Amino acid sequence: MTSTPPPIPGIHHVTCIAGDPQENYEFYTDTLGLRLVKRSVNQDDPTTYHLFYADAEGSPGSSMTFFPWEGMQSGRVGAGQVSTTAFRVPEGSLDFWLDRFEEQGVDHDAPVKRFGERVLPFRDPDGLPLELVEGPDAGVPWTESVPEEAAIRGFHGVALAVRDVGPTAELLRTMGYTEVDGEAADDRTRFESSGDLGAVVDLVPTDREGTQGYGTVHHVAFRTPTDEDQAAWRDSLTDLGFQPTPVIDREWFHSVYFRGGTREANTGGVLFELATHEPGYTVDEPLDELGSSLVLPPKFESMRSQIEAALQPLSTDD
């Protein structure tokens, strides 16, 4: 067994499935006020977009990304999936958000209190379950459509729907998470890591069958800041009986994927990714131009005209 790698500080990004890219863009930028930091294509299917929304600098722990798959069926949130993705907003800002959601007709519930925090549950236009959670300041907020005192800072955390809490709880402890005591009003178990953003993972037991489709999360990526950290975690997970993929170059970070929560044949469990901080979203665009044009990984550059012709035009003018 190799030595234990440094604890994982939190989430790097969350990748979800959407329906219409234009509707997705307008909700995440205009309504939620995130910044489009990368407009690219799915590297495994370059005829569909991969849209990245984040804070002003695309900080690790702030990016929500989408594959808008036209013709995809609506999904069903259930076991083996991220069931809710929560964003951090400043203390005292939920009233601003409640008014905004009322005005804009966003599908939401009344705020609830959980683990001493104020939580506003809502859904995006595809029905993806989301929350805003008040908490300490972090990240570099993008303030184009939401004022700084209310702007989303990045992730608060995710909830994972699991059939059996035990194996995922054990994996999270291995990754450096510790169980948190507190009042949840349901049977969730909370784990927390050390990061300033995206440090929370809740486990919610369910027998409900999940199906992938728009309105569901595809995978959650955790931060392994350096390539060395990632390699050490890859070795460690392999020693524990998981089956992590080789390192894949995703242009803006390096990725390793594995199924969390079970060690049998890499099946079942939520799809986890380990992603590095480097090289980051500014590797191929200057900071002030992030998201302003279609960026393709070099291997797709020769196919740019065909790819652009296959993509639904995305209007980003206000």
Instruction: Summarize as ranges the residues that interact with Zn ion (CB under 5 A).
Output: 15, 221, 273
Between residues 11 and 162, which has the closer beta carbon with respect to Zn ion? 11
Q: Which helix (H) or strand (E) holds 113?
A: strand 112-114
Reading the block at residue 62, the tokens are: 């702030």
Number of H helices, E strands in the chain: 5, 16
CB of 241 to Zn ion, least distance (A): 23
Which residues neighbour 158 within 8 Å (Cβ) at sequence distance 6 or greater? 11, 14, 82, 84, 85, 86, 198, 200, 201, 202, 217, 220
CB of 158 to Zn ion, least distance (A): 13
Helix (H, G, I), strand (E, B) or coil at 147: coil
CB of 219 to Zn ion, least distance (A): 6
CA 219/CA 230 separation, integer angstroms: 17
Of all residues in the chain, what percent are helix, strand and coil, respectively (each to 5)?
20, 35, 45
Between residues 106 and 256, which has the closer beta carbon with respect to Zn ion? 256
CB of 220 to Zn ion, least distance (A): 8
Between residues 197 and 221, which has the closer beta carbon with respect to Zn ion? 221
CB of 44 to Zn ion, least distance (A): 11
CA 128/CA 150 separation, integer angstroms: 22
Name the one residue in this structure whose structure tokens are 């044009």.
293
* Dihedral Cα 240, 242, 246, 249, nearest 10 deg: -100
Between residues 89 and 130, which has the closer beta carbon with respect to Zn ion? 130
CA 76/CA 59 separation, integer angstroms: 30
CA within 13 Å, CB half, 162: 26
Reading the block at residue 216, the tokens are: 């569901």
**DSSP strand pairing (45-54 vs 63-68):** antiparallel
CB of 253 to Zn ion, least distance (A): 8
CB of 40 to Zn ion, least distance (A): 12
Between residues 44 and 207, which has the closer beta carbon with respect to Zn ion? 44
CB of 167 to Zn ion, least distance (A): 22
Between residues 106 and 221, which has the closer beta carbon with respect to Zn ion? 221
Between residues 82 and 150, which has the closer beta carbon with respect to Zn ion? 82
Between residues 87 and 97, which has the closer beta carbon with respect to Zn ion? 87
Reading the block at residue 46, the tokens are: 């370059």
